[in-house]
Amino acid sequence: MKTIGMIGGMSWESSKIYYQHLNEMVRNKLGGSHSSKCVLTSVDFDEIERFSFSGDWDKIGQLMATEAKKLDSAGADLILLCTNTIHLVSNYITKATTVPFLHIAHATGEAIQQKGMKKVALLGTKFTMEEDFYTKILKNDFGLEILIPDSDDRDALQSIIYNELVKGIFKESSKQVCLDIIKKMKEQGAEGAILGCTELPLLIPDSEAAIPTFDTTKIHAGKAVEFALS
């Protein structure tokens, strides 16, 4: 079994779910007392958040490169960046180490393609929804049409994620806001909705959404386990 390296802490609310998914998936595939071989380095999210809002992405990239090198030294055979938004600087990771890097958007694109969908909505932070580091992979590599919520809904998602979810606050009212946004996206033709923030699946049950949702945390972890057991 190969060793999975994780850069976590963005936020730790979803990083702990990564760890749970990896171990449950390995156990389910191998049975018995098997669990995932993994190493985790975790950052202080307050620092990452401040640099994000000040637009200092180079500083974040340098921090991610440092963490990737730690995983390399610890014997990781694969690196996961346990967040959607910070993939904006994933090039710093791939330049810092030769350890294979699994991009969350690529894993998600494969999952959508397997479902035969062509038009999907993307929910996440404003950085993920408004920048092209995520959508260009989905469009260019998988031929998907990506729908983005309107400005007010993007603001609402940003507020819910940074003021509540990353702090472990999960409100019924916020869940309903997200479900309403997904419903609007369905009315615009979306066949599915990407939960493009690793905390969103903790808030939004797939069974309650108007269209199928793609849990990027679970998808990302699943592809890592496939690699580890290959």
Taking a C-beta distance cutoff of 8 angstroms, is the pair 1, 228 a contact?
Answer: yes
Are 139 and 61 contained in the same domain? no
How far is it, in rounded angstroms, from Cα 203 to Cα 207? 12
What is the number of structural domains in the chain?
Answer: 2
Identify the pLDDT of residue 9: 97
Structure tokens of 2?
Answer: 């190969």
Predicted pLDDT of residue 130: 97
Identify the active-site residue in 41, 197, 198, 216: 197
pLDDT tens digits for 142-201? 999 999 999 999 999 999 999 999 999 999 999 999 999 999 999 999 999 999 999 999
> pLDDT (tens digit, 9 = 90+) per residue, 28-79?
999 999 999 999 999 999 999 999 999 999 999 999 999 999 999 999 999 9
Give this prediction's pTM: 0.96
Q: At what angle do helices 104-114 and 135-142 cross, to 10 degrees?
A: 50
Residue 18: which CATH number? 3.40.50.1860
Q: What is the pLDDT of residue 65?
A: 98
pLDDT tens per residue, range 204-229: 998 999 999 999 999 999 999 999 99
Given a contact cutoff of 8 angstroms between Cβ atoms, the answer to whether 89 and 102 are in contact is: no
Catalytic pick from 41, 83, 85, 198?
83
Average confidence (pLDDT) over 3-13: 97
Active site includes 197? yes
Look up 82 and say whether it is catalytic.
no
Residues 33 and 47 in one domain: yes
Domain of residue 211: give its range: 104-215
